[in-house]
Amino acid sequence: MEPAMPTHYGVDLITFFHPSFWGLSTDEEFERLRNSAPETVWSTIFDALSESGISHIEMTFPPADFTTALQVFGSAEGFRRELDSRNLTLKSGFYGLQGADLDPAAAADAVTPYLEFLAAAGGDTLVVGPPMRATVGSTPPVFADLGLASRVADALHHIGHRSLSLGVKTALHTEAHSIFYTARDIQLMMTLTDPDYVFLCPDTAHITLGDSNPVEVVEPWRNRVVIAHWKDATGPMPADVPIDAGIHTAHREYMCTLGEGVVDWRSWARLMESTGHSDVTLLELDATPDPIGEMIAARTFVESVRAEVLGSSSN
């Protein structure tokens, strides 16, 4: 067996959004902390990353977003200097594309400041969360049909064109209960989008919540995978749950520690190695009370899987 290239380990910063990690009881208390002391939030996250042996990060929503980073560090270059001083690297940034904002030119303009930040701070990927579905049976209905998919594809093409001009790739994320998470959705959106401009960020847990096998669904599109979220889940989630402001919190009930769910990690590791983008393994652990322990456990688990099936080591 030819040994695989070593990998670095990264994490999406939503990992740190559980109030218990901050000694708090509610999301509202955490929101007050992040508004009053953003410097403390960033320094605490950076300390935890170092303790966990994580070297790469994916930015996400406030308070771990680019606007808060600008507030605390003054510029993208200042943020990059802080990362460098802590032996950390920005890999990617998450961006939510709203269904009501799909004018192609406007969508590209709206995300440009974020793209410029990512490029200046050392990131190479914009991970785009697609518009969410509406609750089944809601009025007025929202159909995840060819018309909506085509409008989203148009917006993604313009975002992808803008991002490439700045040295950043645009990758569509498989988001549970969005228009891009079932096997059918993934096939449709990947077919509609130009592979030169729109890439793929599969999320193993979210695909599992859509009652699909991540390996089987992603394999036909492996050449478009530039980044992936490694996350476990206990099984599918009902498609007809209320899709409202609490849907992402509801997802967490079905997510679990890596290796304790139903994802076939050995096959997944082989598939990710075949993409040519296995230099960073991005662990995404949604808002966990013990992010340090979970990150260490996840990294240790993935290292053992990669060593078993790929004969690889980590950096």
**CATH code assigned at 101:** 3.20.20.150
Range 134-144 average pLDDT: 92
Q: Hey, what amino acid is at 73?
A: F
Domains of the chain: total: 1
313 pLDDT above the threshold of 70: no
**Residue 98 lies inside a defined structural domain of this protein:** yes
**Residue 205 lies inside a defined structural domain of this protein:** yes
Structure-model confidence comparison of residues 1 and 256, the more confident one: 256
- Taking the C-alpha atoms of residue 245 and residue 199, their distance in angstroms, rounded to an integer, is 27
* Per-residue pLDDT, 1: 42
Domain extent at residue 42 = 8-310
Residue 2, C-beta contacts closer than 8 angstroms, at least 6 positions apart: 311
* Per-residue pLDDT, 6: 85
**Residue 315 lies inside a defined structural domain of this protein:** no
Range 281-300 average pLDDT: 92
Three-state DSSP class for residue 301:
helix
- Taking the C-alpha atoms of residue 97 and residue 91, their distance in angstroms, rounded to an integer, is 20
**Residue 3 lies inside a defined structural domain of this protein:** no
* Per-residue pLDDT, 188: 98
User: What percent of the chain has a predicted confidence (pLDDT) above 70?
Assistant: 97
Give the pLDDT confidence of 209-230 residue by residue, as tens digits: 999 999 999 999 999 999 999 9
3 pLDDT above the threshold of 80: no
- Taking the C-alpha atoms of residue 16 and residue 290, their distance in angstroms, rounded to an integer, is 8
Please, what is the average pLDDT of the chain? 94
Q: Whole-model pTM above 0.85?
A: yes
- Taking the C-alpha atoms of residue 123 and residue 217, their distance in angstroms, rounded to an integer, is 27
Three-state DSSP class for residue 119:
helix
* Per-residue pLDDT, 293: 95
* Per-residue pLDDT, 311: 86
